[in-house]
Structure 1
């Protein structure tokens, strides 16, 4: 079906083809930069269900309430992400991608170190959760500007026919950061509870400082996006407010992008934040082993995302994402059956079905799918806005929705979560179906 638009179709880039050296450097920089960003962001998510309810709320509080409040703070970071996307997208579309990405990385590193040094509720009382909220919001602002910028720096440094795969290299920073976060946290989660809650959980946050330094070095060396540089040379970079142009020129494109990403991101956050403490509470899989299961599935995820993106470079964004929607609907109930199997290897297989298959099948092409909806001068803001609002709808609400759905008195348990996920996927598939295919047009220009 043809996508309706309120203005002309997005123009494809006329930028000169960048050198192979610049392309490789941009890909590596985007990948490692996103890895650092999501290591910090997802480390909080992993700790939210294991540590923060115990340390940053009163001991007299019911553990379930503490977990819910911890997830609310988690949601605060997701809510601030669209604001960060608009803010950094504004500067990215006005002044270029490179400097903005340098700033977002520094912000993320600083916040992670501060969380690792934070005093607990016993030491400073209510100031502890309030400080955690503030730091989480700053984290969300930084990530809001990071995802689109890193994805565009990768995609805009290669030929148009390879943009799906190139964009996915930056996207794989998410599961790579998850691998590092859960692996490092898992190592320390093996400590006795007293040591883990006293100092063990802090080390992964403090270690991010080392990774940030490496990421900043790589970001400093990368060249500006050729697409943006060409647009600036031709005088096509507007001096107005990018968000107003995006809302006026691409209302339906933005809406379709938001709805398309919500389902895959719900599954990603569900496994990264909710599933580990849920599995550990069943007593079949120890906390540390559950984190390692998530780590291994995220490692496979790193290769699954580029695979589905590569397929989209060959067959189109829409066919691959629609096939991914069918895969997601078909496998979500088997995934939960494995998660509830009461067997060690059944739970491990559930993570493998959830991340590299269900989530990646629709998520792999998402970077190019969103980027190709917008013109160069509006692209940073457009991609940031659509992805981050979809992130709030999908990932940000996932732990809270899962906890609430599990608590319903209909006795359905995880089936409630599965049906909710299917609803998100169906809506996302309709949005993809209504979107125009951009691969063939981009490849010919």
Structure 2
């Protein structure tokens, strides 16, 4: 084992790490938003047979949107351990080209008229690649920025990952709008492809930023230890010793139900049941995202001062209350109140939780299993809330789809689950990352985590002899 004197000392680069995380998240959500828009407008016409059942083509196109979310937990099982074993930067570079490459490839695919059923098969394959890489991208970016951050600004530094998601969504909307104004022949022949090809620009910029980014100092210190024996699997350590943390993160991630109901169910309720203008309702979401761009970093600074839990809980309880007046305003067709309550609920209150969860969740895990646990916990929670919330909300709304009060109660229940999970977590804002690692490392796992950090196989019975602090894997 190398001595401390010979172990290279790396410097933290919080700004570079935050920028690298921001642009990766922007690319990821640009890709997802562009694909969702294209699926609704053109992919159902171009990639699926419509002669017998146009409705079925629409259903299949929407199904390809969900494919990426279904495979994300699997991606967490693959990408998370890779990041904890081989490095955060390794996975960030890998997922960058996987997401960007798959998105660019969609713009190059032949249509159903050209190659038949091969067209939708290739489309699904591209979505699978996007989904597998997305879980590792976000968890690795958050861990990278957390471990590079100054100790008193961890929430602020990691919040830029979520700020990037808001920007990517807005960018995708702005890019696609001009192409929807093209004549239908031009849109269906080449216009829809251009937004997918433009993702290559983001990939190049992200690569230029990330190629000079170093692994976090703590991870480098662990990796420079001389390996010996069979390495310990991050996933096996996580499932043996941190199942409770993964479950807590998954339950807390149910706060995503607020976003799903706001962006999906309420849009359908407003346009299909109440009869409001679809384009105007889309601008409600645009306004909320624009407000969130400013709220997310500002609230994160507050969390670095007063703590993660109070800010996160405010971001959980606030939307639970505001969902009632927002849906009531939609039901009444009151545009000023729809915009006002939408901006307050999603842009301000939900963004409080959205800003804090990167640092809050990541600090529930020690360094050697941080990406694996963060990826698995969040993707399980997102899969449940994103996959089932729209269906459950529609069922609660009833056959006529007008029981908005029941849907608001459903959202409140999801928020209470999220808040209850957050209450069981330990406040970590005032602790250093070394203290956090020691906090989450029990005596029985100390030797195993040390071996995971150094690449050594733990000796039998050694875990009961070493202090918990050695579990930091550093």
Match of 1:132 in 2: 123
CA contact (8 A) 2:269 2:402 kept: no
CA contact (8 A) 1:68 1:400 kept: no
Greater gyration radius = 2
Change (3 A) 1:92 1:186: same
In structure 2, list runs of 5 or more residues that go unmatched.
1-7, 436-474
Counterparts in 2 of 1:146-295, with a 5 A limit? 146-234=137-225, 239-263=231-255, 265-272=256-263, 284-285=276-277, 287=279, 290-295=281-286
Match of 1:420 in 2: 410
Counterparts in 2 of 1:29-428, with a 5 A limit? 29-60=20-51, 65-234=56-225, 239-263=231-255, 265-272=256-263, 284-285=276-277, 287=279, 290-342=281-333, 344-349=335-340, 351-402=342-393, 408-409=398-399, 411-428=401-418
CA contact (8 A) 1:93 1:378 kept: yes
Q: How far apart are residue 185 of structure 1 and its match?
A: 1.6
TM-score by length of 2: 0.81
Query: Aligned equivalents of 1:417 and 1:236: distance in 2?
Result: 54
Q: How far apart are residue 58 of structure 1 and its match?
A: 3.1
TM-score by length of 1: 0.86
Change (3 A) 1:167 1:354: same
CA contact (8 A) 1:48 1:273 kept: no
SS in 2 for 1:440: coil
SS in 2 for 1:368: helix
CA contact (8 A) 1:72 1:400 kept: no
Match of 1:438 in 2: 428
Change (3 A) 1:444 1:120: closer
RMSD of Structure 2 on Structure 1 (CA): 2.9
Change (3 A) 1:352 1:260: same
Query: Aligned equivalents of 2:192 and 2:275: distance in 1?
Result: 21
CA contact (8 A) 1:271 1:354 kept: no
Query: Aligned equivalents of 2:120 and 2:393: distance in 1?
Result: 22
Q: How far apart are residue 175 of structure 1 and its match?
A: 0.8
Query: Aligned equivalents of 1:401 and 1:203: distance in 2?
Result: 36
Q: How far apart are residue 254 of structure 1 and its match?
A: 0.7
Q: How far apart are residue 45 of structure 1 and its match?
A: 2.6
Pick the aligned partner of 2:11 from 18, 36, 46.
Answer: 18
SS in 1 for 2:148: coil
Query: Aligned equivalents of 2:265 and 2:109: distance in 1?
Result: 24
Q: How far apart are residue 132 of structure 1 and its match?
A: 2.2
**Which structure has the higher relative contact order (CA within 8 Å, separation 6+)?**
1
CA contact (8 A) 1:71 1:400 kept: no
Query: Aligned equivalents of 1:31 and 1:329: distance in 2?
Result: 28
Query: Aligned equivalents of 2:212 and 2:71: distance in 1?
Result: 29
Change (3 A) 1:361 1:403: same
Q: How far apart are residue 422 of structure 1 and its match?
A: 2.1
Q: How far apart are residue 353 of structure 1 and its match?
A: 3.5
SS in 1 for 2:320: helix
